[in-house]
């Protein structure tokens, strides 16, 4: 019998439409798979055994019957949502995030919550209070982060689709390291209402899927204006499946010289160079471009993101919800003990960083300066996109590293997002797709960026590449 | 107070805007409801919830800013003010820091003595209110009500232009009048819909440098603002006279002990770590909207007072008193539409009616005398149905019973006797009984007539028309 769990959403959709495959059949297949695999991978923090209840009323929905795993920082009404942090233990949101409302309305089956780095602070899934998720290609390695649970679950066929969130690469980096597709939409394309904020000006929700077509299907459902989010842009949403055409002839592909730096893994670089050749052979025009402020992206990000995070996370104080210590003497003591015990080390590190850079006397030198550099980085892209239609880079400098390898060295951990951060600072859409494997059989991802709100070109390029290669078809042995 | 020193005061007024929903979510702003019944994920600061600006709050803010003669910023931008307190759900307040909605305005304040003073407005900005903490007696916990959290607050900050507690009082009165005219807030200090903090310092008269400022909080009426500032002026002068240092600090007004008490010094002051609110996108303020609001501004107290002087021939003082409260001014104008003698009307409203409002601590609407009923009463005096003296009693009766003047007069038989024959009859009786007074009068003691008038009035229970009584008496006494 065909293994339903191994199929893509569009394949299942066709079966549901044509051969009246029942959603519960898909779910049963997945639950079996999860039972046998997740002991090893640990991608789930919550599995909803009643996931299919109530979906019948959305039979005509665009994702009817298709299981989707939700990153644990997106609010699902009545389901514990913790951001993989002790401080939110027991928190059950009284409302659905806008993306969740839209998925439910289209008949998607929400099978559970995915592990992640605590509050999305991390690139390895190791800062989760539940412990790390493991990379399906090598269980001794990290799956990437922060949406590591989502990416690992998709790669190990434990879900059909997944949602992640991306603040500096948190969708694309784990997608790359797990050999799946991860898309960060343009800032403002998808509502953030109900996404527990890390850095409000950088966060976007996006899909992690087995192929590009599935990413387009999810984007068709979650994109579009939301009156609950003032940063969500009121622009019509195209049908992204119409962008899935095998044609890059004449497409100008920018290759920024600053992204092929010292320290980049030679196998990664070779893979990306080969991918560029593939695009050239398919008729794309390769253009050398420059993004001169690239070297400042990581430092800019590590000022802006923690600053916003320090303020966003202030609300976790034990007063209204989540974890609260019981032995506090007074209010201040309750704040201090609750936050000291509730947050992990990386969360504390970022709260301190952000609090410092927003303080009187430091604001101008750090936060304000960083915002100015951010504008420069955005201008780099504006200029580059005069010469090209998409930009391609590696998604990560190396394939998946080993668990524990970088936990003692935050700076080297921060550098694993070096290629993905700029898209967040500039608000651009970007996708990571499988483009090769290392000799150790570890996946390598190709990173494609496009102009703001030009997800269509992103899809067209990614789809064309995917359909002319077969990296996405390779599966980890589990 | 010694004139050696000059007092310098700046006021910060927080004003709750009377929008139907909160500043950044759809919750009702209704006052006095069950705790936490008007809340949602947004105003509770729940994880993942995001603010969306209430357009009405924005438009009201522009309206106030224009009425205070402020310039309007090109862009509206919000900032986060970060501090921890359990009544602040997100542990930051959405406020405006370096780009207030409006700035550089003024209010012309006319004191009771008639002198005019321009108080400059430094800035007017929009922010959200916090919830309310409650500390149940004898318990080891506190409770918090978030119904108020997220209500739109307008902060109106003056320049340090105010030079006495009386001026501060007059400024607040003028500001409140303007706000009431705009119908954007009920300005009720007891409900907390208007709150005032003061910055006060002293300096030697003629000096340019400002002295060390002290912030005074916790004054919950205009009167307490005045009293607290009096106390604080005295305290600071005493320190200066004793060559002691005035410390920059925040002090709380204690309305029972009538003193200010130190709360915290500047060294303990917060670093609010302001930064632009990333969840609210700055947007350009449409100048057309601003101009439309400007054109639609109602007649404000000052303009109305001037019109009352011109149109109704009122004194400056009467006009100011009447226009100081919009409801009172409206009341006057409604009466004036049906009653020609504006002087009499004004005297009644600013006299007996005002006295009754004060005595009962109610406003003109709560007093419950309809304009047409007051006019009815005044017309009864003019038509000599009742005397002016009786009318005062009738007015009180009207307030107490909510009945019309004519109903009261007829049911109590208070009608003035203007029947010549009836008065003649009583006069003849009185003259017959008081021969001595008659003789006194005829003998040249003209004051004796007062006694005789009194006797006639007594016989008629005060209802006889006094002018007629006089006339008829004199006729009978052979004048």
Q: Which two tokens stand for residue B210?
A: 């400002």
Residues 6+ apart with CB under 8 A from A273: none
Q: Is B450 exposed, middle or buried (0-12, 13-18, 19+ CB in 10 A)?
A: exposed
List Cα–Cα distances, B254 to A162, B132, B221, in angstroms: 59, 20, 12
For residue A460, is it within any domain? yes
For residue A345, is it within any domain? no
pLDDT at B417: 73
Residues 6+ apart with CB under 8 A from A386: none
Best B36, B130, B275 member to test A by mutation, with max A CBs in 10 Å, is B275
What are B39-61's pLDDT values in tens digits? 999 999 999 999 999 999 999 99
For residue A23, is it within any domain? yes
Give the residue from chain A lying closest to B274, CA to CA.
Answer: A358
* Ranges of each domain in chain B: 5-292, 299-412, 420-476
- Residue B15: closest CA among B73, B71, B57: B57
DSSP output for A121-156:
--SSSTT-TT----BTTBTTB---SSSHHHHHHHHT
For residue A122, is it within any domain? yes
Mark residue A20 as left, alpha or beta (left: phi above 0; alpha: psi -120 to 50; beta: remaining). Answer: left
Angle at which helices B448-459 and B466-476 cross, to 10°: 120
Which residues does chain A have with pLDDT short of 50? Answer: none
Strands (E), A178-246: 181-184, 204-209
Looking up tokens 């002198």 gives: B115
Is B89–A315 a contact, with Cβ atoms under 8 angstroms apart?
A: yes
Strand order from edge to edge, sheet including B275-276:
B92-95, B79-82, B275-276
- Taking a contact as any Cβ pair under 8 Å apart, which residues of chain A between 333 and 352 contact chain B? 335
Q: Which two tokens stand for residue A284?
A: 């794309």
Looking up tokens 């839209």 gives: A102
Is B45–A320 a contact, with Cβ atoms under 8 angstroms apart?
A: yes
Rounded to a whole number of angstroms, the distance from the CA of B147 to the nearest CA of chain A is: 14
CA gap A196, A198 in Å, rounded: 7
Is B41–A95 a contact, with Cβ atoms under 8 angstroms apart?
A: yes
pLDDT at B479: 64
pLDDT averages per 10-residue partition of chain B, 479 residues? 82 96 96 94 98 97 97 97 96 97 95 85 98 91 95 97 95 94 89 93 92 93 96 96 93 95 75 96 96 97 94 92 93 94 94 93 92 92 81 90 86 73 85 86 84 86 81 82
Q: Is the dihedral of CA B356, B359, B365, B367 positive or negative?
A: negative
- Taking a contact as any Cβ pair under 8 Å apart, which residues of chain A between 190 and 209 contact chain B? 192-197, 199-201
Contact residues, chain B, for A95 at CB < 8 Å: 41, 46, 49
Q: Is the dihedral of CA A370, A373, A379, A385 positive or negative?
A: negative
Size of interface A-B (CB pairs under 8 A): 97
3-state secondary structure B127-176: EECCCEEECCCCCCCCEEECCCCCCEEEEEEECCCECCHHHHHHHHHHHH
Contact residues, chain B, for A201 at CB < 8 Å: 278
Rounded to a whole number of angstroms, the distance from the CA of A213 to the nearest CA of chain B is: 29
Rounded to a whole number of angstroms, the distance from the CA of B195 to the nearest CA of chain A is: 26
Are B123 and B147 contacting, i.e. CB atoms less than 8 angstroms apart?
A: no
Q: Where are the alpha helices (DSSP H) in A165-237?
A: 172-178, 212-222
pLDDT at B251: 95
pLDDT at B267: 59
List Cα–Cα distances, A102 to A73, A98, B46, B469, in angstroms: 17, 6, 20, 90
The C-alpha angle B78, B81, B83, rounded to 5 degrees, equals 160
Q: Is B227 exposed, middle or buried (0-12, 13-18, 19+ CB in 10 A)?
A: middle
Are A332 and A341 contacting, i.e. CB atoms less than 8 angstroms apart?
A: no
Contact residues, chain B, for A197 at CB < 8 Å: 47-48, 279
Contact residues, chain A, for B82 at CB < 8 Å: 310-311, 314, 358
Bridge partners (DSSP) listed for residue B29: none
- Residue B260: closest CA among B288, B229, B290, B301: B229
B239 — contact with chain A (CB < 8 Å)?
Answer: no
B47 — contact with chain A (CB < 8 Å)?
Answer: yes
Is B275–A94 a contact, with Cβ atoms under 8 angstroms apart?
A: no
What residue numbers bound the domain in which A70 lies?
4-251+386-473
- Residue A201: closest CA among A190, A189, A188: A188
Work out how many domains chain A is built from and give that number.
1
Active site residues of A: 71, 146, 170
β-strand pairing of A390-394 with A161-166:
unpaired
Give the residue from chain A lying closest to B45, CA to CA.
Answer: A315
Residue A202 phi/psi, 5-degree rounding, is -120, -30
DSSP output for A271-299:
HHHHHHHHHHHTTPEEEEE--TTGGGHHH
Query: Does the ipTM exceed 0.85?
Result: yes
Give the residue from chain B lying closest to A229, CA to CA.
Answer: B50
Domain B420-476 belongs to what topology?
Arc Repressor Mutant, subunit A (1.10.10)
Contact residues, chain B, for A94 at CB < 8 Å: 41, 46
Best A79, A187, A315 member to test B by mutation, with max B CBs in 10 Å, is A315
B52 — contact with chain A (CB < 8 Å)?
Answer: yes
What are A257-300's pLDDT values in tens digits? 999 877 789 999 999 999 999 999 999 999 999 999 999 999 99
Number of neighbours of residue B207 by Cβ within 10 angstroms:
12
Q: Pick from B84, B144, B274: which is nearest to A335 by CB?
A: B84
What are A233-244's pLDDT values in tens digits? 999 999 999 999
A70 — contact with chain B (CB < 8 Å)?
Answer: no
Rounded to a whole number of angstroms, the distance from the CA of B63 to the nearest CA of chain A is: 23
β-strand pairing of A109-114 with A67-71:
parallel
For residue A183, is it within any domain? yes
Is B90–A197 a contact, with Cβ atoms under 8 angstroms apart?
A: no
The C-alpha angle B413, B418, B419, rounded to 5 degrees, equals 100
Q: What is the pTM of this model?
A: 0.90
Strand order from edge to edge, sheet including A390-394:
A44-47, A109-114, A67-71, A161-166, A204-209, A181-184, A430-437, A443-450, A390-394, A252-256, A285-289
List Cα–Cα distances, B1 to A349, B4, B6, B238, in angstroms: 56, 9, 10, 11
List Cα–Cα distances, B170 to B17, B113, B225, B325, B353, in angstroms: 22, 11, 11, 13, 22
pLDDT at A1: 52
Give the residue from chain B lying closest to A74, CA to CA.
Answer: B48
Is A231–B278 a contact, with Cβ atoms under 8 angstroms apart?
A: yes
A360 — contact with chain B (CB < 8 Å)?
Answer: yes
Helix (H, G, I), strand (E, B) or coil at A328: coil
Are A276 and A268 contacting, i.e. CB atoms less than 8 angstroms apart?
A: no
A315 — contact with chain B (CB < 8 Å)?
Answer: yes
pLDDT at B435: 85
We report the CATH number of the domain holding residue A169 as 3.90.1300.10
pLDDT at B269: 66
For residue A351, is it within any domain? no
CA gap B84, B43 in Å, rounded: 16
For residue A41, is it within any domain? yes
């Amino acid at each position: 019998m065909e293994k339903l769990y191994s199929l893509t959403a569009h394949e299942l959709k066709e079966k549901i439409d044509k051969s009246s495959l029942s959603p519960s059949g898909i779910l049963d297949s997945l639950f079996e798979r999860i039972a046998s695999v997740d002991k090893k991978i640990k991608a789930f923090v919550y599995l909803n055994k009643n996931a299919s209840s109530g979906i019948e009323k959305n039979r005509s929905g665009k994702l009817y019957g298709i299981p989707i795993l939700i990153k644990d920082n997106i609010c699902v009404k009545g389901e514990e949502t913790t951001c993989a942090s002790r401080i939110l233990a027991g928190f059950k949101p009284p409302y659905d995030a806008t993306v969740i409302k839209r998925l439910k309305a289209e008949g998607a089956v929400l099978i559970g919550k995915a592990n992640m780095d605590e509050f999305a602070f991390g690139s390895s899934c190791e800062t989760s209070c539940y412990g790390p998720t493991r990379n399906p290609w090598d269980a001794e390695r990290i799956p990437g982060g922060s949406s590591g649970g989502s990416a690992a679950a998709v790669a190990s066929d434990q879900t059909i689709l997944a949602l992640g969130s991306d603040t500096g690469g948190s969708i694309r980096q784990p997608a790359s390291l797990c050999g799946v597709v991860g898309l960060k939409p343009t800032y403002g394309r998808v509502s953030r209402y109900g996404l527990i904020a890390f850095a409000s000006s950088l966060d976007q929700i996006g899909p992690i899927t087995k192929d590009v077509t599935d990413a387009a299907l999810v984007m068709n459902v979650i994109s579009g204006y939301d009156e609950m989010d003032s940063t969500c842009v009121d622009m019509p949403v195209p049908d992204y499946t119409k962008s899935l055409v095998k044609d890059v002839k004449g497409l100008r592909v920018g290759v920024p010289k600053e992204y092929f730096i010292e320290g980049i893994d030679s196998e990664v670089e070779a893979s990306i160079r080969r991918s560029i050749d593939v695009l050239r052979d398919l008729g794309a025009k390769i253009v050398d471009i420059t993004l001169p402020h690239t070297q400042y992206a990581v430092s800019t990000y590590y000022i802006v993101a923690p600053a916003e995070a320090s303020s966003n996370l202030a609300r976790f104080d034990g007063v209204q919800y989540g974890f609260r210590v019981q032995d506090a003497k007074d209010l201040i003591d309750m704040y201090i003990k609750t936050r000291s015990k509730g947050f992990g080390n990386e969360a504390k590190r970022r709260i301190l960083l952000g609090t410092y850079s927003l303080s009187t006397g430091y604001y101008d030198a750090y936060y304000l300066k960083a915002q100015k550099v951010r504008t420069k980085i955005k201008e780099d892209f504006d200029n580059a996109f005069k010469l090209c239609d998409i930009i391609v880079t590696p998604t990560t400098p190396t394939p998946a590293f080993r668990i524990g390898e970088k936990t003692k060295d935050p700076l080297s951990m921060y550098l694993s997002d070096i290629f993905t951060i700029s898209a967040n600072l500039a608000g651009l859409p970007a996708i990571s797709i499988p483009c090769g494997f290392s000799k150790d059989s570890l996946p390598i991802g190709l990173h494609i960026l496009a102009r703001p709100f030009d997800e269509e070109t992103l899809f067209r390029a990614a789809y064309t590449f995917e359909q002319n290669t077969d990296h996405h078809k390779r599966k980890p042995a589990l | 107070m010694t004139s050696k020193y000059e007092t310098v005061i700046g006021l910060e007024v927080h004003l709750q805007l009377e929008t139907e929903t909160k500043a950044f979510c759809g919750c009702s702003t209704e006052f006095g409801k069950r705790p936490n019944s008007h809340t949602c994920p947004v105003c509770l600061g729940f994880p993942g919830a995001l603010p969306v600006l209430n357009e009405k709050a924005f438009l009201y803010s522009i309206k106030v800013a224009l009425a205070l003669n402020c310039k309007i910023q090109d862009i509206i931008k919000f900032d986060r003010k970060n501090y921890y307190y359990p009544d602040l759900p997100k542990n930051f307040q959405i406020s405006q820091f370096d780009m207030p909605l409006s700035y550089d305005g003024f209010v012309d304040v006319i004191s009771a003595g008639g002198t005019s003073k321009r108080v400059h407005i430094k800035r007017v900005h929009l922010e959200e209110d916090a919830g309310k903490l409650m500390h149940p007696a004898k318990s080891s916990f506190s409770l918090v009500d978030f119904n108020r959290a997220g209500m739109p607050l307008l902060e109106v900050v003056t320049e340090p232009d105010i030079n006495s507690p009386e001026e501060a009082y007059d400024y607040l009165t003028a500001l409140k009048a303007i706000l009431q005219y705009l119908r954007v807030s009920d300005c009720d200090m007891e409900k907390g819909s208007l709150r005032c903090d003061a910055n006060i310092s002293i300096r030697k008269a003629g000096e340019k440098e400002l002295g060390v400022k002290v912030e005074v909080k916790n004054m919950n009426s205009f009167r307490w603002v005045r009293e607290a500032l009096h106390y604080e002026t005295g305290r600071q002068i005493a320190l200066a006279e004793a060559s002691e240092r005035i410390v920059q600090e925040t002090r709380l007004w204690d309305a029972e002990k009538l003193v200010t008490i130190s709360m915290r010094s500047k060294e303990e002051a917060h670093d609010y770590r302001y930064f632009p609110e990333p969840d609210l996108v700055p947007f350009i303020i449409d100048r057309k909207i601003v101009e439309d609001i400007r054109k639609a501004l109602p007649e404000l107290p000052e303009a109305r007072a001037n019109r009352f002087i011109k149109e109704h021939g009122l004194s400056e003082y009467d006009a100011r008193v009447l226009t100081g409260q919009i409801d009172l001014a409206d009341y006057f104008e409604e009466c004036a539409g049906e009653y020609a003698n504006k002087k009499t009307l004004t005297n009644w409203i600013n006299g007996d009616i005002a006295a009754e409002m004060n005595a009962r601590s109610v406003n003109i609407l709560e007093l419950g005398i309809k304009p047409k009923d007051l006019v009815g009463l005044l017309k009864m005096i003019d038509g000599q149905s009742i005397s002016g003296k009786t009318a005062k009693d009738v007015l009180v009766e009207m307030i107490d019973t909510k009945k019309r003047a004519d109903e009261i007069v007829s049911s109590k038989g208070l009608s003035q006797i203007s029947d010549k024959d009836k008065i003649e009859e009583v006069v003849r009786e009185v003259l017959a009984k008081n021969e001595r007074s008659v003789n006194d009068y005829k003998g040249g003691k003209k004051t004796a007539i007062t006694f005789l008038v009194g006797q006639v009035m007594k016989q008629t229970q005060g209802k006889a028309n006094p002018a007629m009584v006089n006339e008829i008496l004199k006729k009978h006494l052979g004048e």
